[in-house]
Amino acid sequence: MRSSRILAGLAAVAVAGAIGMASLPAYAEGDTIKVGILHSLSGTMAISETTLKDTMLFLIDEQNKKGGLLGKMLEPVVVDPASDWPLFAEKARELISVDGVDVVFGCWTSVSRKSVLPVFKELDSILFYPVQYEGEESERNVFYTGAAPNQQAIPAVDYLMNEEGVERWVLEGTDYVYPRTTNKILEAYLKAKGVADEDIMINYTPFGFSDWQTEVSAIKAFGSAGKKTAVVSTVNGDANVPFYKELGNQGISAEDIPVVAFSVGEEELAGLDTGPLVGHLAAWNYFESVDTPENADFIDAWHAYIGNDDRVTNDPMEAHYIGFNMWVKAVEAAGTTDPDAVIDALPGTSVPNLSGGYSAMMPNHHITKPVLIGEIQDDGQFDIVWQTPGLVPGDAWSDYLPDSAVLISDWRAPLSCGNFNTATGTCGGSAQ
Amino acid sequence: MPARTKPSLVTRIAGTALLLVLALFASVAPAGAQTLSEAAAALVQKLPDGSYSDRAEVVTQLAATGESDLAPLLQALRDGDLYVVNADKRVVIAERKGSNYEISDPISGAALGEVGQRDAEKIKVNNSLRRTIDSAMGQLTLMSPDPANRRAAAENILKTADPETIDLIDAALAEEADPAIAAILNEARAVIVLRNDFPADEQLAAVATLKARGDRDALAVLTGVQGTASAEIRPAVDDAIGDIQDVLAIWAAGQNVWYGISLGSVLLLAAIGLAITFGVMGVINMAHGEIVMLGAYTTFVVQDAIRNNAPELFDYSLAIALPLAFLVTALVGIAIERGIIRWLYGRPLETLLATWGLSLILQQAVRTIFGPNNREVGNPSFMSGAFDLGQLSITWNRMWIVVFALAVFAILLAVLNRTPLGLQMRAVTQNRRMASSMGIRTPFVDALTFGLGSGIAGMAGVALSQIDNVSPNLGQGYIIDSFMVVVFGGVGNLWGTLVGALTLGVANKFLEPYAGAVLGKIVILVFIILFIQRRPRGLFALKGRAVEQ
């Protein structure tokens, strides 16, 4: 009896809370523009996503100092999807329909992005997605400010092939969609470049893998065939630390077998003694060590905001920086935060990036970026050893997979299609 | 020997060995002076300019001068410590000191004061430049009086096997007294002979030299030349490759066993605390992984304190962390037992849910206090690197973890079987009412037993911090494996835990090369499910009345 009364009481409180929250936007409407932040603050992905939440709060704060947007202040709405993919969809729905946000910045893993897609389509809102991903997607409601494979993986392989003379390749990845798709693209690309089947080794390990002894000695064995060997690593998140530790302990130095990683940035190296890793590579579109006045200002402002000079900056943070400024500019151009108007205004918008150039939003909802290759230094930073001469436009559909090579994406008026099949001349051809 | 030798300089060290070296290197320069020839100094000044390949060209030319005083400069360049001062374009070694650089002369080592961080520019290196520097260092220090330097130089030369260095190798071989270094030089010579156009009889001898070395590097060289070898030596090359591969295959099996033992020891460490709380007490503690995580964070706190206050103690940090981690986690364990678990004895489902909730609370608490990012826990010097046992490369950290796991196991066994506390624990778990009647304070023993199991888990956390991430998620990765080991080995039996952990470890590592890590793990899980069907009580089932309770 007693417990049922408590339950009833709890339910009443919950209902009251829900009503209170639902009534809030109506009260606040007109005074502020709401910006949704959908990053995990607990669970496995908190390690990467918490920083992005801070970055968004920092960017919104900066914008408000400049007087806000359209004469209104920006108001961040932070939710915690707790690294739980279905919860991402629920929280996205809550942000859009309950809190009434005009734009959402969020998601890290591809599976979380796939989980919120239907929500953004149904409620017709805007998502800015800041992380490098496997490509093979272009949606009207999503703007991809991270790198597509041709803005990260392909240039990295080119660098190793041309500058280091690599002839034998280990594609090492965590077993999920991003490494599998990226490796499929890379394998097709390497074969197109004349690399033989026996010179490519592909291996996958589970999430959070920590015992790398067998894998590392397999890499060592594969590398002793008399040809220059390199490892292309799509190993994700936490598994990188034990992987690099094992590499260091087994004495694989970057001069012998360099490892180029697509998921290892300043943030990941912060938990690691990088002494034995000097010379291993990473490919990104931004490094904290980029030597430009814009970047120095950004880092100084970030340190001042967060109150800690040891906090590093990284590539997805720059992606949010670019994405947020693009959205601001598009809203100013459209004169409204109405999603449809902003979606139409965004392609063609061009804003400064932190590496000294301008990044532009393209009709396929990907952006142009430079590609940088950095070598790990013993202070946990990267020395940029190579960069593309110009900007690389992100390609939604890879040219190296036969199914997607015929697809193009253009969300501008006459075509308005994310997956137009140039062979059949119809919209809706799918690569998957 | 280099074609043109410029006047060499006398270094600080004197001695007959040095005189011999100097005799080789043509004329002798004024004693005590730490200067370079003009040509070399001009080359050094060119280092900051141009691309990486320009820089590599300069390094090659520096090596050709044969001036061994260049060695510290090249080493600094390789380590990324060489800078150019913006004001006077002077090339210096710079070390970070606060927000400034402390600069010194790269040749004489004389201190030159400090410059601001933006007043000096790093001379950048990349991998291919580092390789060029290694080769240059090899050439410059091959005649060094210090055997350790000579050895490093010989290994560098072996790695790059630049055909230009063959005269230098011959000259060094004529002088070399240390057979180990001479062997490396001989191998370097063999590699050069094989890869380039040399007479067939010399190449045959080279194949024999490499065959005698018999490791992966030798195999790499031989496979590399297999396609291009002349008809005369081709059979010998094929033969050598076959032989080396046969030997390596045997070592590969040994390697799998070792990796298996190493994985098994990690499983044992993770599971052994659970063997007490779950195995002996029967408490399903889902927060076990988080207690391991707390142990790892204790290590981080200890190391952080040591880094800030007494960096010279760093190598002892683990020894200091071990008892602290035990204490901290044992206290947490006792608090959990007194606060939560004792109300739930005999209700396994509620215990499971309560401790699972507790695990989430602990994770988020750590995340709030220490932040969501990985914390850096360093390896003390004795736990870094690897040593070779035949063709097997054994890493020190794994080696010490195996030793540590077995030591913890032995101590725990002794505590349970040889101490009054152990006797009481066994008495309480076997027949609570009887033990109580004999005057044992059963709640007190319960708390201590849970504390002991948790303390052991905390010590495991110290060890795991050496091979895994120290993050709030650390424990999650081990909880399933721990239960697997305890259930497989037989609940309530420490020996079962040991055998279970090692069996699973070795089986996993033998499967991995063939099935891959993902499939390997699935196969193991399926195997355990089938095994439990056949023997529900695990490998070593407890017998007797206690089981029936």
Q: How confident is the model at residue B543 (pLDDT cuts 50, 70, 90)?
A: low
Contact call for B518 and A204, based on CB within 8 A: yes
Q: At what angle do helices B494-534 and B234-274 cross, to 10 degrees?
A: 100
Look at the block and give the residue holding tokens 């980029």.
A290
B539 and B418 share a domain?
yes
B189 and B131 share a domain?
no
pLDDT of A281 above 90: yes
B258 and B180 share a domain?
no
Contact call for A249 and B134, based on CB within 8 A: no
**Which of the residues A41, A44, A47 would you substitute to probe the B interface, choosing the one with the greatest number of B C-beta atoms within 10 Å?**
A47
Q: Cβ of B400 under 8 Å from any chain A Cβ?
A: no
Tell me: the pLDDT tens digits for A36-78? 999 998 877 887 899 999 999 999 999 999 999 999 999 999 9
What's the sign of the alpha-carbon dihedral B325, B327, B333, B339?
negative
Cβ contact A239:A174 at 8 Å: yes
Residue B265 falls within a domain, yes or no?
yes
Q: How confident is the model at residue A157 (pLDDT cuts 50, 70, 90)?
A: very high
pTM of the model: 0.82
Q: Cβ of B379 under 8 Å from any chain A Cβ?
A: yes
Q: What is the pLDDT of residue B476?
A: 86
Contact call for A226 and B476, based on CB within 8 A: no
Of B173, B203, B232, the one marking the end of a domain is B232
Question: Which region among A95-99, A326-330, B24-28, B110-114 has the lowest average model confidence (pLDDT)?
Answer: B24-28
Tell me: the pLDDT tens digits for B53-81? 888 888 888 888 878 788 888 888 888 88
Q: What percent of chain B has pLDDT over 70?
A: 92
Residue B393 falls within a domain, yes or no?
yes
DSSP A46-87: HHHHHHHHHHHHHHHHHHHHTT-BTTBEEEEEEE--TT-HHH
Question: Which region among A110-124, B149-163, B308-322, B532-546 has the lowest average model confidence (pLDDT)?
Answer: B532-546
Q: How confident is the model at residue A429 (pLDDT cuts 50, 70, 90)?
A: low
Contact call for A214 and B513, based on CB within 8 A: yes
Chain B: nearest CA to A168, how far in angstroms?
Answer: 12
Chain B: nearest CA to A254, how far in angstroms?
Answer: 7
Q: Which residue of B has its CA nearest to A166?
A: B128
List the 268-327 stretch of B: residues with Cβ below 8 A of A.
Answer: none
Domain boundaries, chain A: 2-148+303-368, 150-290+371-403
Q: What is the pLDDT of residue B33?
A: 45
Beta strand pairing status for B120-122 and B82-85? antiparallel
Q: What percent of chain B has pLDDT over 90?
A: 30
Contact call for A251 and B266, based on CB within 8 A: no
**Would you call A343 exposed, middle or buried from its count of C-beta atoms within 10 A (0-12, 13-18, 19+)?**
buried
User: Distance of CA A188 to CAs A195, A206, A394, A405, B466, Å?
Assistant: 10, 24, 18, 12, 38
The range of the structural domain enclosing residue B173 comes to 164-232
Nearest to A209 among B134, B471, B517 (CB): B517
Q: Which residue of B has its CA nearest to A218?
A: B513
Cβ contact B277:B443 at 8 Å: no
How much is the mean pLDDT over chain A?
Answer: 87
Which pair of tokens denotes residue B386?
């690897």
Q: Cβ of B220 under 8 Å from any chain A Cβ?
A: yes
B119 and B194 share a domain?
no
So what CATH class is A150-290+371-403? alpha beta
Cβ contact B194:B168 at 8 Å: no
Contact call for A44 and B473, based on CB within 8 A: yes
- Find the helix or strand (DSSP H, E) in which A152 lies: none
Q: How confident is the model at residue A103 (pLDDT cuts 50, 70, 90)?
A: very high
Q: Cβ of B469 under 8 Å from any chain A Cβ?
A: yes
Q: Cβ of B130 under 8 Å from any chain A Cβ?
A: yes
Q: Sheet harboring A372-376: ordered strands across?
A: A200-205, A168-174, A229-234, A259-261, A281-284, A372-376, A382-387
pLDDT of B430 above 60: yes
Q: Cα-Cα-Cα-Cα dihedral of B471, B473, B475, B479, to 10°? A: -160
B105 and B188 share a domain?
no
**Which of the residues B127, B216, B293, B480 would you substitute to probe the A interface, choosing the one with the greatest number of A C-beta atoms within 10 Å?**
B127
B477: left (phi over 0), alpha (psi -120 to 50) or beta: alpha
Chain A: nearest CA to B347, how far in angstroms?
Answer: 20
Contact call for B126 and A42, based on CB within 8 A: no
- Find the helix or strand (DSSP H, E) in which A202 lies: strand A200-205
Contact call for B374 and A224, based on CB within 8 A: no
Chain A: nearest CA to B518, how far in angstroms?
Answer: 6
Chain A: nearest CA to B75, how far in angstroms?
Answer: 14
Q: Cβ of B100 under 8 Å from any chain A Cβ?
A: no
Rounded Cα–Cα distance for residues B409 and B403 (Å): 10
Question: Which region among A273-282, A422-431, B91-100, B326-335 has the lowest average model confidence (pLDDT)?
Answer: A422-431
Rounded Cα–Cα distance for residues A255 and A288 (Å): 24
Q: What percent of chain A has pLDDT over 90?
A: 62
pLDDT of B23 above 50: no
Q: Cβ of B471 under 8 Å from any chain A Cβ?
A: yes
Give the side-chain half-sphere CA count within 13 A for A264: 31
Nearest to A203 among B376, B471, B516 (CB): B516
Cβ contact B142:B150 at 8 Å: yes
Residue B45 falls within a domain, yes or no?
yes
Rounded Cα–Cα distance for residues A217 and A170 (Å): 12
Q: Cβ of B87 under 8 Å from any chain A Cβ?
A: no
pLDDT of B13 above 50: no
pLDDT of A319 above 90: yes
Rounded Cα–Cα distance for residues B355 and B483 (Å): 14
Q: Which residues face A170 on adjacent strands?
A: A201, A231
Residue B376's closest CA among A385, A177, A265, A245? A245
B287 and B207 share a domain?
no
Contact call for A47 and B395, based on CB within 8 A: no
Rounded Cα–Cα distance for residues B85 and B77 (Å): 14
- What integer is the mean pLDDT of B493-521? 90
Q: What is the pLDDT of residue A255?
A: 87
Task: Name residue A362's amino acid.
Answer: M
Q: Cβ of B224 under 8 Å from any chain A Cβ?
A: yes
**Which of the residues A229, A252, A255, A377 would you substitute to probe the B interface, choosing the one with the greatest number of B C-beta atoms within 10 Å?**
A255
pLDDT of A12 above 60: no
Q: What is the pLDDT of residue B449?
A: 92
Residue B246 falls within a domain, yes or no?
no
Chain A residues closer than 8 Å to B385 by CB: 249, 251
Contact call for B367 and A42, based on CB within 8 A: yes
Q: What is the pLDDT of residue A83?
A: 87
Q: Which residue of B has its CA nearest to A245?
A: B467
Residue B492 falls within a domain, yes or no?
yes
CATH of residue B531's domain is 1.10.3470
pLDDT of B503 above 50: yes
Contact call for A208 and B266, based on CB within 8 A: no
Alpha helices by DSSP H, B275-347: 288-309, 317-339
B200 and B329 share a domain?
no
Q: Cβ of B134 under 8 Å from any chain A Cβ?
A: yes
The radius of gyration of chain B's CA atoms, rounded to the nearest angstrom, is: 31
Q: Cβ of B372 under 8 Å from any chain A Cβ?
A: yes
Ramachandran angles phi, psi of A36, nearest 5°: -85, 140
pLDDT of A313 above 80: yes
Q: What is the pLDDT of residue B11?
A: 40
Cβ contact A206:B516 at 8 Å: no
Residue B320 falls within a domain, yes or no?
yes
Q: How confident is the model at residue B98 (pLDDT cuts 50, 70, 90)?
A: confident
Contact call for B131 and A255, based on CB within 8 A: yes
Q: Cβ of B510 under 8 Å from any chain A Cβ?
A: no
Contact call for A273 and B379, based on CB within 8 A: yes
Q: Which residues face A168 on adjacent strands?
A: A229
pLDDT of B19 above 70: no
Residue B11 falls within a domain, yes or no?
no
Which pair of tokens denotes residue B232?
């005369």
Q: Cα-Cα-Cα-Cα dihedral of B269, B270, B273, B275, to 10°? A: -100
Q: Which residues face A173 on adjacent strands?
A: A204, A234
**Which of the residues B125, B387, B467, B522 would you substitute to probe the A interface, choosing the one with the greatest number of A C-beta atoms within 10 Å?**
B467
B542 and B457 share a domain?
yes
B221 and B258 share a domain?
no
Chain A: nearest CA to B502, how far in angstroms?
Answer: 14
Q: What is the pLDDT of residue B159?
A: 81
Q: What is the pLDDT of residue A20?
A: 40
Tell me: the pLDDT tens digits for B219-265? 888 888 887 878 888 888 889 989 988 988 898 889 999 999 999 99
Count residue pairs from A and B with Cβ separation < 8 A.
155
Local structure of B290: helix, strand or coil: helix
Q: What is the pLDDT of residue B516?
A: 85
**Which of the residues B473, B474, B508 would you substitute to probe the A interface, choosing the one with the greatest number of A C-beta atoms within 10 Å?**
B473
B169 and B85 share a domain?
no
Cβ contact A153:A260 at 8 Å: no
Chain B: nearest CA to A29, how far in angstroms?
Answer: 33
Rounded Cα–Cα distance for residues A365 and A396 (Å): 8
May I ask the CATH architecture of the domain A2-148+303-368?
Answer: 3-Layer(aba) Sandwich (3.40)
**Which of the residues A213, A263, A385 would you substitute to probe the B interface, choosing the one with the greatest number of B C-beta atoms within 10 Å?**
A213
Rounded Cα–Cα distance for residues B332 and B291 (Å): 8
- Find the helix or strand (DSSP H, E) in which B97 lies: strand B91-97
B316: left (phi over 0), alpha (psi -120 to 50) or beta: alpha
Chain A residues closer than 8 Å to B226 by CB: 226
Nearest to A47 among B134, B220, B372 (CB): B372
Chain A: nearest CA to B126, how far in angstroms?
Answer: 7
Contact call for A241 and B516, based on CB within 8 A: no
Of B180, B198, B232, the one marking the end of a domain is B232
Q: What is the pLDDT of residue A271?
A: 66
